A and B are shown apart, each in its own frame.
Chain A
Amino acid sequence: MSATTDHLAASALSSQARVETPFRRFVSDFFESKVATGACVMLSVIIFIALFAPLISPQNPYDLAVVDVMNARLEPGEQSWSGDLTFVLGSDGAGRDMLSAIFYGLRISLSVGVMSGIIAMIIGMVVGLMAAYFGGRTDTVIMRIVDLQLSFPAILIALVLIAILGKGVDKVIIALVTVQWAYYARTVRGSALVERRKEYIEAATCLALSHRRIVFRHLLPNCLPPMIVVGTLQTAHAISLEATLSFLGLGLPQTEPSLGLLIANGFEYMLSGKYWISFFPGIALLVTIVTINLVGDQLRDVLNPRLER
């Protein structure tokens, strides 16, 4: 407790004009780590690329009228046969510019990861809060389902679902949500159980507020910090899972490759020395996942009340 007071006093001294708010404190704590700062910058760059891929890519890699098989498997730095485009990172077996394909692939990977993360979080949160708040049989039933689901490897469930549902972005998102909601449900239940015993919930109950109001207006906001951490890490997990599915040929269509499919397409060229077709998408995937994980780790450290500094 005294450490906090010291800290407060110190920051109050250093900038008299600024008022210490929880958010400011969070921001300053977060950027204390150089690694996390770097990761944050990198993540912003990746998000920027994903958002503005159509504007910054040299080519639309999904437009079959532009992609020309005459430019297939060019090495990094080579010119297209018509001379109007330089393939900075080379081209793949269909003549697609790798740089553009990676930009568009990031867009797909990130959107699939974030979309499935958000949907799974909402489902997991509602279910987990219900389990914690109502307890008893509701809790038992929900948590046994969660246990059952967590006892299967995520990739196995996803593979089975894709096999049943078929290919497509929407199907991949459904599969990822199905595998991930249980993590959120378990996390939110844990912190909600602690919060539920606190006085403010008791007070709210005495005021005869509706269950819904207590759960969503009082309980939920106090359970959010761990959810943000799990959400970040699970998003990275979802991206790598989507890449795995695509690598196995179960994700997205051939003509609109995500990072996983790009790696899979390049895999068959590995033995013939055409490394760039799977190497660069692999690097892009690696950097994305590591960056998100670093940010997630730092968030966990900063938001963890037990790790007071």
Chain B
Amino acid sequence: MKILKHVTTVVAALLLAVAGAASAKNLTIGLASEPTAIDPHFHNLTPNNSLLGHLFNALVLQDENQNLIPGLAVSWRAIDDTTWEFKLRQGVKFHDGSPFTADDVIFTFGRAPDVEGSPSSFGIYTKGKEVVKIDDHTIHIKTERPYPLMPNDVSTIMIISEEKGRGAKTPDYNSGKAAVGTGPFKFVEYVPGDRIVFERNESYWGSKPEWTRVTFKSIKSGPSRVAALLAGDVDIIEQTPTVDIERLKKDPKLSLSQGISNRVIYLHMDQFREESPFVKAKDGGKMKNPLLDARVRRAISKAVHRDAIVDRVMEGIAVKAGQLLPEGFFGRSPKLSPEPYDPAGAKALLAEAGVGDGFKLTIHGPNDRYINDAKIAEAVGQMLTRIGIDTEVVTMPRSVYFKRASRGAEGGQPEFSFILVGWGSGTGEASSPLKSLLHTYDKERGFGPSNRGRHSDPEVDRLIEDALATVNDAKRQDLLAKATELAIGRNQGIIPLHYQVNTWAAKKGIKYRARTDERTVAYGVYTE
């Protein structure tokens, strides 16, 4: 620990020396996970989207509560059932001084869906949309069916410069050559594994951030991140470990910000294989996959003691979940509440389903993705073992986990039988998780890309598809709520555990506006 502190101190001192005698306001941010590229369309991943929002803007931005606010577009409206019109902001310049026009938007929507080697593409947000230039500062986006979520989808695509972006590949962005956007910060340096440095864009179109120079350092281990903050090597950290929060709150030299996120942590079960690879009979022999039976899935939900997970594993810093999004988000069902803990009822359901003697199951989960993920998996393992489902717990780094969980088995099918995962709604409403997790898997049409249990119910599919084409907000809300009630309340397609609550810790004097999308952004940091 001590040695580590020394090393980070020395590194910080060197950095300061390099930065020179700049009198400007510097900010150093300790990130829990490093972005995988500086290319805004390479990987649809929270750390990437969070970082690249500094360099690039989308047409529509999301504020800290994921409300939509004007970005590079000043206004938008549906001019008929299948056409949206976006009025672009005038006088915006890219970092290299070139003007921003409709051509850049058209170029961006052409590039975003197919970036070479992308592990998770932005195609889900661009599919089925045709962008047409009307004049330099007006575009139309056309769809086949009415598409009310257009502004939400558009808010996920960051606009790049056509001039710099033509022919540019991901390495050109990582080197900074093509990393030219319209955002509040400019690219300075990207050293993978060590640091990312940005400086303020003095000709930014919006309100200028306080900080002239921002350095992001990735410090993966929670205790090391806290130690770096206490030692003054970084000014603010994200994903403060839950075990430390109580003590850090009392520290007069620090200030904490906390906020619920749009991320639900849930269990997904194999609902497509007659024989599931990680389900065994008690004697170790083969058996018919019991997870196909909704009663067994409900029994698992009843056996999970959500209060224990929230209080004992998460130290009270989480909110137990009964559906896809926490209160306050669009598309929630008012009828669903978290399944109460009922081990006796769970056993009765198992008996009713003909597996009263229990079976053997392996739960797979990541150990470096969500807050306390490995510990949650272990706690779930304990709870299921107690109702007779002998559970083995296997956790692994996310780099291995997600590949296997999504397409590790033959034919690119999901490998595991029972997994712990999380989903944050990129659009800030319920259609995103419903579409990705609970709609029948359909690669062609872009449905169910993360439906790793392959849950499938035509009634739910119809409701989701209708909702996606319903312009009237009240009607869409009803359809989304109904879909959630069927998929979770009736079918137990997934078992929600809790919503994450994020905590940022900063040194005294600076504060962070907690964000529901879990992003850590320099323009959300302010001095008190």
Q: Which residues of A contact B (CB under 8 A)?
A: 63-65, 67-70, 72-73, 93-95, 249, 253-255, 267-274
Does A65 lie within 8 Å of B385, measured CB to CB? yes
CA distance A274 to B305 in the complex (A): 24
User: In the complex the two chains form, what is the Cα distance from A268 to B221 in whole Å?
Assistant: 9
**Chain A residues whose CB sits within 8 angstroms of the CB of B382 once the complex forms:** 64-65, 67-69, 94-95
A69:B312 contact, CB within 8 angstroms: yes
- Chain B interface residue count, CB cutoff 8 Å, equals 31
Contact of A272 (CB < 8 Å), options: B1, B244, B379, B391: B244
Interface centre among B222, B243, B309 (most CB of A within 10 A): B243
Q: Is B392 an interface residue (CB 8 A)?
A: yes
Chain B residues whose CB sits within 8 angstroms of the CB of A73 once the complex forms: 243, 312
| Contact present for A70 and B308 (CB under 8 Å) | yes
Contacts of B1 in A (CB 8 A): 270
> Which chain A residues lie closer than 8 Å to B313 at the CB level?
69, 72, 93
In Å, the complex CA distance between A70 and B386 comes to 13
How far is it, in angstroms, between the C-alpha of A269 and the C-alpha of B315 when the chains are bound?
A: 12
Q: What are the residues of chain A within 8 A of B367 when measuring CB–CB?
A: 249, 254
Q: Is the interface of A mostly helix, strand, loop or mixed?
A: loop
Separation in Å of the A244 CB from the closest CB of chain B? 16
Question: In the complex the two chains form, what is the Cα distance from A94 to B313 in whole Å?
Answer: 8
Q: Which residues of B contact A94 (CB under 8 A)?
A: 375, 378-379, 382
B247: which A residues are within 8 A, CB to CB?
271-273
Q: Which residues of B contact A (CB under 8 A)?
A: 1, 221-223, 226-227, 241, 243-244, 246-247, 305, 308-309, 312-313, 367, 374-375, 378-379, 381-383, 385-386, 391-395
Please judge, given known A-B contacts A64-B382, A68-B382, whether A270 and B393 are in contact too, CB under 8 Å. no
Q: Whose C-beta in chain B lies nearest to the C-beta of A269?
A: B243
Q: How far is A300 from B375 in the complex, measured between Cα atoms in Å?
A: 45
* A268 with B223: CB separation less than 8 A: yes
Q: Which residues of A contact B391 (CB under 8 A)?
A: 64
Contact with B241, one of A67, A68, A254, A268 (Cβ below 8 angstroms): A268
**CB–CB A65/B375 < 8 A:** no
Pick from A63, A65, A70, A272: contact of B246, CB under 8 Å: A272
B227 touches A95 (CB 8 A): no
CB within 8 A of A69: which of B222, B223, B243, B309? B309
B394 & A253 in contact (Cβ 8 Å cutoff): yes
Q: Is the CB of A254 within 8 A of B223?
A: no
A227 to B382, CA, bound (A): 46
Give the chain A neighbours of B378 by CB distance below 8 A.
64, 69, 94, 254-255
Residue of A64, A93, A95 with most chain B CB atoms under a 10 A cut-off? A64
Point out the residues of chain A lying under 8 angstroms from B394, CB to CB: 253-254
